[in-house]
């Protein structure tokens, strides 16, 4: 789900590498490999349509009780076609999964679509829902931020504009996201909707405009248990020659004011996660907007800190835990490879790939530094992509840790709880992993209770090794396509439809 505006901003602000990415091998530390847990697979299915999924760049798709949220297709044709919510042009509804039961959370009254983006520990879910109205400024269906409390859906409203979307919710029921006001706007950071978008904090029926960093628009993404918010904002309304849009800076709102965190020298920066210690991670262009690096910010430090790469020009962080460990992906020298990485104490660690593969990306992280993500065979071939689990220096294909003949091929590992439950997206038999965003099913993996050594499988991590001189042109093209898919997932965290 992404807007034309968000896609434009990401294309301008995030460096799209045209070169391929292959990895120089990273040899694992010597010694015995850990043995990986076996899992029971729950295929969450759908509400009668072909697709279900979960949100990327969002720890809150699952809580500590193992409940999960996302969206699933129904069999009802989308009444707003061709401005469809689901890529399959059917009505899609937010879901809540718990203990093997998939519950339809519904939508605002009418034949409307919705999606669950974040769930707190109380099981409350936040996201957007269509409201049955066509926006007179855009001619497309309107969205409103909503909060599901049990079986009740609450419309959080707007800031006197036509649309809004809820992005995350904390355990106190505070919600952040974006909402439109009534002031005309030619840019539109959240969407090209004709009026300004503003980061908001909603609590007990009141939506508060958090303001901007000086430009017309802002966007709230994460709210922690302190009620503090992280997001990004235009700092003016003057387009840059390198990106074609005004400068975008990440911000931190401390309950009183919005703090401009700056960038790593470039004209674009965004936030990808926020923990309860007020540490946050994001990504920023460097001076000249030709390189793009992950960063971390700590409230005790005056500036954001560059997390670096594996020698290339790009890194992207995806998740941050409460201890300050960060995961994501980075390129190597000459941008020959893209690998899942983990940063601990600002030191980057190459997690490699599933043995024999060439590319990987880390999506989910827990407090035990267990990591899940996606690994692709050389040359970044998405047709046989598979989800991975990395634990204590060893990476395994998750498909080898579920019963043979299971109902799904696991493609994405998106989140992992401290108890070891894994949430992701896979494809049913006969469906290519390339079509996971259209025909995939959300899944939950639950660790087997009886996990003796005889039931576990030892995995040796041995990464793909090829020199840049042997890099064929089709590998570079395949890797560039892999990066475009990742950037599409980044765009989806902004939670706009394909309108």
- Give the E-state strand segments of 241-367 in sequence order: 246-253, 258-260, 265-274, 280-286, 292-297, 305-306, 311-320, 326-332, 338-344, 347-352, 357-365
- Tell me if 117 is assigned to some domain: no
Note the pLDDT tens digit of each residue in 283-317. 999 999 999 999 999 999 889 999 999 999 999 99
In angstroms, the Cα distances linking 64 to 68, 91, 167, 416 are 10, 29, 19, 10
pLDDT at 34: 54
- Tell me if 218 is assigned to some domain: no
- Tell me if 254 is assigned to some domain: no
pLDDT at 378: 79
Q: Measured on CA atoms in the order 93, 106, 144, 147, is the torsion positive or negative?
A: negative
In angstroms, the Cα distances linking 226 to 253, 255, 343 are 11, 9, 25
Residue among 399, 431, 421, 429 at smallest CA distance from 412? 399
Contact between 44 and 69 (Cβ < 8 Å): no
Which is more confident, 468 or 281?
281
- Tell me if 267 is assigned to some domain: no
Q: How confident is the model at residue 334 (pLDDT cuts 50, 70, 90)?
A: confident
User: Domain total for the chain?
Assistant: 1
Tell me what the pLDDT averaged over the chain comes to: 87
Note the pLDDT tens digit of each residue in 218-272. 999 999 999 999 999 999 999 999 999 999 999 999 999 999 999 999 999 999 9
Q: How confident is the model at residue 19 (pLDDT cuts 50, 70, 90)?
A: very low
Helix and strand counts by DSSP (H, E) for the chain: 3, 34
Contact between 284 and 264 (Cβ < 8 Å): yes
- Tell me if 450 is assigned to some domain: yes
- Tell me if 88 is assigned to some domain: no
Residue 10 has pLDDT above 90, yes or no: no
Place of tokens 């093997």: 100
As a whole number, mean pLDDT of residues 460-477 equals: 46
Look at 29-38, 346-355, 411-420 and tell me which has the smallest mean pLDDT: 29-38
In angstroms, the Cα distances linking 132 to 31, 88, 125, 136, 143 are 60, 19, 21, 12, 9
- Tell me if 461 is assigned to some domain: yes
Residue 254, Cβ neighbours under 10 Å: how many?
A: 13
Residue 361 has pLDDT above 70, yes or no: yes
Task: Encode 330-395 in three state secondary structure.
Answer: EEEHHHCCEEEEEEECCEEEEEECCCCEEEEEEEEECCCCCEEEEEEECCCCHHHCEEEEEECCEE
- Enter the pTM of the model: 0.89
Adjacent-strand bridge partners of 342:
327, 349
- Tell me if 426 is assigned to some domain: yes
In angstroms, the Cα distances linking 12 to 116, 129, 306 are 28, 28, 20
pLDDT at 218: 98
Residue among 71, 58, 73, 76 at smallest CA distance from 97? 71
Q: How confident is the model at residue 382 (pLDDT cuts 50, 70, 90)?
A: confident
* Range(s) of the domain holding residue 483: 1-38+310-499
Token couple for 227: 């009620």
């Amino acid at each position: 789900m992404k807007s034309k505006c968000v896609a434009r901003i990401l294309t301008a602000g995030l460096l799209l590498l045209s070169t391929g990415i292959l990895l120089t091998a990273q040899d694992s530390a010597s010694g015995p490999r850990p043995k990986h847990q076996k899992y029971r697979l729950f295929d969450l299915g759908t509400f009668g349509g072909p697709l279900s999924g979960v949100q990327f760049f969002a720890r809150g798709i699952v809580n500590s009780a193992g409940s999960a949220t996302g969206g699933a297709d129904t069999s009802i044709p989308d009444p707003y076609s061709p401005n469809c919510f689901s890529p399959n042009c059917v009505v899609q509804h937010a879901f809540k999964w718990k203990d093997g039961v998939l519950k339809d959370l519904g939508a605002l009254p009418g034949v409307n679509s919705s999606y669950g983006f974040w769930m707190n520990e109380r099981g409350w879910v936040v996201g957007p829902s269509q409201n049955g109205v066509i926006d007179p400024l855009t001619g497309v269906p309107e969205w409103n931020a909503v909060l599901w409390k049990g079986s009740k859906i609450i419309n959080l409203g707007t800031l006197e504009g036509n649309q809004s979307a809820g992005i995350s919710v904390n355990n106190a029921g505070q919600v952040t996201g974006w909402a439109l006001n009534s002031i005309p706007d030619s840019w539109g950071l959240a969407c090209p909707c004709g009026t300004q978008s503003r980061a908001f904090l909603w609590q007990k029926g009141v939506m508060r405009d958090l303001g901007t960093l000086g430009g017309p628009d802002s966007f709230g993404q994460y709210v922690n248990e302190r009620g503090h918010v992280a997001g990004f904002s235009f700092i003016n309304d003057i387009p840059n020659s390198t990106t074609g849009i005004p400068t975008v800076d990440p911000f931190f709102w401390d309950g009183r004011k919005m703090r401009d965190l700056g960038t790593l020298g470039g004209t674009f920066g965004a936030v990808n996660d926020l923990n309860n210690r007020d540490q946050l991670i994001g990504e920023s262009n460097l001076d000249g907007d030709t390189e793009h690096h992950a960063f971390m910010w700590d409230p005790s430090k005056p500036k954001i800190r560059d997390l670096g790469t594996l020698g290339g020009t790009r890194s992207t962080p995806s998740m941050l835990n409460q201890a300050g460990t960060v995961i994501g992906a980075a390129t190597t020298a000459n941008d020959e490879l893209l690998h899942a990485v983990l940063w601990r104490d600002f030191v980057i660690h190459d997690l490699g790939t599933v043995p024999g593969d060439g590319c990987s990306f880390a999506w989910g992280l827990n407090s035990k530094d267990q990591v899940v993500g996606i690994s692709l065979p050389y040359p970044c071939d998405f047709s046989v992509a598979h989800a991975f689990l990395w634990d204590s220096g060893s990476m395994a294909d998750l498909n080898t840790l579920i019963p043979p003949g299971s109902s799904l091929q696991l493609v994405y590992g998106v989140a992992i709880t401290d108890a070891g439950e894994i949430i992701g997206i896979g494809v049913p038999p006969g469906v290519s992993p390339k079509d996971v965003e259209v025909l995939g099913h959300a899944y939950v993996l639950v660790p087997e209770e009886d996990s003796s050594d005889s039931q576990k499988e030892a995995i040796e991590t041995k990464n793909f090794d090829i020199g840049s001189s042997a890099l064929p042109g089709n590998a570079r093209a395949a890797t560039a396509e892999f990066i475009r898919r990742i950037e599409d997932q980044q765009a989806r965290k902004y939670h706009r439809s394909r309108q």
